[in-house]
Amino acid sequence: MVENDANGHAHYKHAFNTQACEQLNAWLGGFQSVLNKMTVNNFNWTMHALLFLHTQKIINQQNAKQARKVPEKDDSDDSDEDELGIEIDRDE
């Protein structure tokens, strides 16, 4: 984030998404009983793997969401698409 100081000079400031952190902590809470029993090295490796898998899951969800967005229609065309993207010709 960009913020201005008292003199009007712009500088960058950290932005932190607390809602995303709460959601991640809630998800990691499901692994707490297993993680509590691990050695430090196993804990570090497991946390790395869990965070990697969680990141991949979020990225895949975002990509799927982007793919579902319907492009704007061209009004000059008499055909429409149904929710699956299959073109329907309205002239027939």
pLDDT tens track for 8-49 = 888 888 777 888 889 889 999 999 999 999 999 999 999 999
What is the mean pLDDT of the segment spanning 69-91?
57
Structural domain span for residue 50? 2-68
User: Do the domain assignments include residue 22?
Assistant: yes
In the block, tokens 């430090």 appear at 40
Rounded Cα gap, residues 68 and 62, in angstroms: 10
User: Do the domain assignments include residue 82?
Assistant: no
In the structure, what pLDDT confidence band is assigned to residue 92 with cuts at 50, 70 and 90? very low
What is the pLDDT at residue 86?
56
Number of folded domains in the chain?
A: 1
User: Do the domain assignments include residue 74?
Assistant: no
User: Do the domain assignments include residue 81?
Assistant: no
Whether pLDDT at 83 is above 60 = no
Rounded Cα gap, residues 23 and 29, in angstroms: 10
CB atoms closer than 10 angstroms to residue 54: 14
User: Do the domain assignments include residue 31?
Assistant: yes
Q: Is the pTM higher than 0.75?
A: no
